[in-house]
């Protein structure tokens, strides 16, 4: 993306009169400026015109050669040094541009224009956190750099820092040149997230299948409301199939930079494949930059029994690793208490891939927290693969192996769940 408005075009005196500023197409300006430089090699105005016109035509080699000539004519000149870095950035050679910036002498790199260029390089490269820090430095020296403030507001929103983002948008909303888009950014239209999760589970005597379809509406400040429908089916050996349907509503909101709350409910006929009624409340607290504490209080009601489930959670995310530990404590309607623990470890393999592995053990309540019809011990292993197809499309596949040890229900169980998420 080329922002010619960045550039400070300064004429220089010479022994020859400068050519008049040319008009016409980029190719015509290249020819005109080239002819001017043949007649007067010291014409810096023609040299700048040739640089910009060459960039417009896509001839970056010509543009860089022209800038190099300017540096030969004016060694150590700030404008020509910064122009070379900008041409590299426009060419897409961001790594070369960043390296060139680090080799600038201190008097040049500390200029306001240089600091702005340094921030823009990080912005173009997608280094969000680094770009925010560099724009902080730019705005500290020049609070009226509205383009830098706009970029910082967009980046902070990407990072989820809605407080800082709104402060910048509110300030820009009072500036005539930014009023329209900044005021609109204060109240952006909602986004939507559609998720589809088909699942299959197989044991020696039963086959379970089903799917969950959910639509979430997303607003800033991590506010969201979702509605969904879940279908479940169980095929028993020598018996009629059992079908169940659940309708659910969910909601969540960020209460502060550290605390977020959520709630949900689902209802269905309760054919013992799923509770006829579920109510839950979630809370997540960011204790530190790397540690989150969570708690879910979950009420489930089946046809003839119910349970209150408490799910404390600890999530630690040091770098590319995420460790998630959950303890499911179910208090049954008869007073019995069962417990199971699940640990999952996720590793990011870059911007597109992640892998997960985990293990769980306990009684009664399984890894989803739902009380089971058996009170025997269980042991499970799980593994998964995540794929970010695009910025708004994700795909995941999870496998679960579960071993039961209960009277009349012992045996192994294998399950697969596919998760497709689309944001628009």
The verdict on 149 and 87 lying in the same domain is yes
The verdict on 195 and 237 lying in the same domain is yes
Question: How far apart, in whole angstroms, are the C-alpha atoms of residue 318 and residue 196?
Answer: 30
The verdict on 52 and 199 lying in the same domain is no
- pLDDT attached to residue 407: 53
Which residues span the domain enclosing 409? 191-423
The verdict on 23 and 122 lying in the same domain is yes
The verdict on 275 and 384 lying in the same domain is yes
- Domain boundary residue, one of 126, 155, 186: 186
- pLDDT attached to residue 5: 37
Residue pointed to by tokens 């009380």: 371
- Tens-binned pLDDT, residue by residue, of the chain (424 aa): 333 333 333 333 333 456 777 778 888 889 888 888 888 888 888 889 989 988 888 898 998 998 988 888 888 888 888 888 889 888 888 888 888 888 888 788 878 888 888 888 888 888 888 889 889 989 888 898 999 999 999 888 887 777 888 889 888 888 888 888 888 888 878 889 999 999 998 988 888 899 999 999 988 767 899 999 999 888 887 777 888 888 999 999 988 878 999 999 999 886 666 778 899 999 999 998 899 999 999 998 877 778 898 999 999 998 889 999 999 888 887 778 888 899 999 998 877 899 999 998 887 655 454 444 444 577 889 999 999 888 789 999 999 998 877 655 567 889 999 999 998 8
Report the domain count for the chain.
Answer: 2
Contact status, residue 394 vs residue 376, Cβ threshold 8 Å: no
In angstroms, the first-to-last Cα distance of the chain is 24
The verdict on 154 and 224 lying in the same domain is no
Pairing type for strands 206-219 and 191-203 reads antiparallel
Which domain CATH number covers 303? 2.40.160.40
pTM: 0.62
Question: How far apart, in whole angstroms, are the C-alpha atoms of residue 141 and residue 148?
Answer: 11
The verdict on 304 and 365 lying in the same domain is yes
Length of the chain: 424
Handedness of CA 348, 227, 250, 418 (dihedral sign): negative
The verdict on 52 and 150 lying in the same domain is yes
Contact status, residue 266 vs residue 278, Cβ threshold 8 Å: yes
Helices (H), 58-192: 60-73, 78-91, 94-102, 106-109, 112-125, 128-141, 146-159, 162-172, 179-186
Helices (H), 160-307: 162-172, 179-186
Pairing type for strands 377-390 and 353-363 reads antiparallel
Which domain CATH number covers 8? 1.25.40.10
- Domain boundary residue, one of 186, 202, 220: 186
- Domain boundary residue, one of 153, 186, 219: 186
């Amino acid at each position: 993306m080329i922002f010619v408005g960045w550039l400070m075009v300064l004429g220089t005196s010479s022994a020859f009169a400068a050519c008049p500023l040319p008009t016409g197409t980029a190719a015509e300006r290249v020819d005109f400026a080239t002819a001017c430089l043949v007649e007067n090699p010291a014409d810096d105005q023609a040299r700048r015109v040739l640089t910009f016109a060459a960039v417009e035509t896509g001839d970056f080699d010509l543009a860089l050669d022209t800038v190099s000539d300017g540096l030969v004519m004016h060694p150590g000149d700030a404008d020509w040094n910064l122009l070379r870095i900008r041409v590299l950035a426009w060419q897409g050679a961001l790594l070369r541009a960043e390296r060139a910036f680090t080799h600038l002498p201190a008097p040049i790199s500390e200029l306001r224009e240089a600091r702005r260029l340094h921030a823009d390089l990080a912005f173009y490269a997608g280094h969000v956190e680094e770009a925010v820090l560099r724009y902080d430095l730019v705005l500290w020296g020049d609070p009226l750099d509205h383009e830098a403030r706009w970029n910082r507001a967009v980046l902070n929103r990407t990072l989820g820092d809605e407080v800082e983002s709104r402060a910048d948008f509110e300030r820009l909303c009072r500036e005539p040149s930014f009023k329209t888009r900044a005021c609109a950014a204060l109240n952006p239209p909602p986004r939507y997230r559609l998720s589809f999760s088909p699942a299959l589970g197989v044991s020696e005597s039963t086959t379970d299948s089903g799917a969950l379809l959910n639509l979430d509406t997303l607003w800033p400040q991590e506010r969201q409301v979702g509605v969904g429908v879940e279908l479940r089916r169980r095929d028993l050996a020598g018996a009629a199939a059992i079908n169940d349907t659940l309708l659910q509503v969910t909601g969540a909101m960020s209460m502060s930079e550290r605390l977020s709350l959520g709630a949900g409910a689902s209802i269905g006929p309760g054919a013992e494949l799923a509770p006829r009624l579920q109510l839950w409340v979630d809370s997540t607290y960011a204790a530190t930059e790397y540690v989150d504490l969570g708690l879910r209080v979950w009420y489930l009601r089946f046809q003839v029994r119910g349970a209150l489930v408490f799910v404390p959670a600890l999530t630690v995310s040091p770098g590319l690793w995420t460790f998630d530990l959950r303890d499911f404590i179910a208090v049954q309607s008869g007073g019995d208490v069962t417990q199971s623990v699940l640990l999952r470890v996720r590793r990011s393999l870059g911007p597109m891939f992640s892998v997960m592995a985990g293990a769980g053990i306990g009684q009664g309540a399984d890894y989803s927290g739902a009380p089971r019809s058996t009170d025997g011990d269980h042991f499970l292993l799980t593994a998964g693969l995540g794929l970010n197809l695009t910025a708004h499309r994700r795909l995941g596949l999870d496998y679960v192996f579960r071993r039961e040890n209960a009277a009349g229900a012992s045996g192994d169980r294998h399950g697969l769940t596919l998760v497709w998420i689309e944001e628009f």
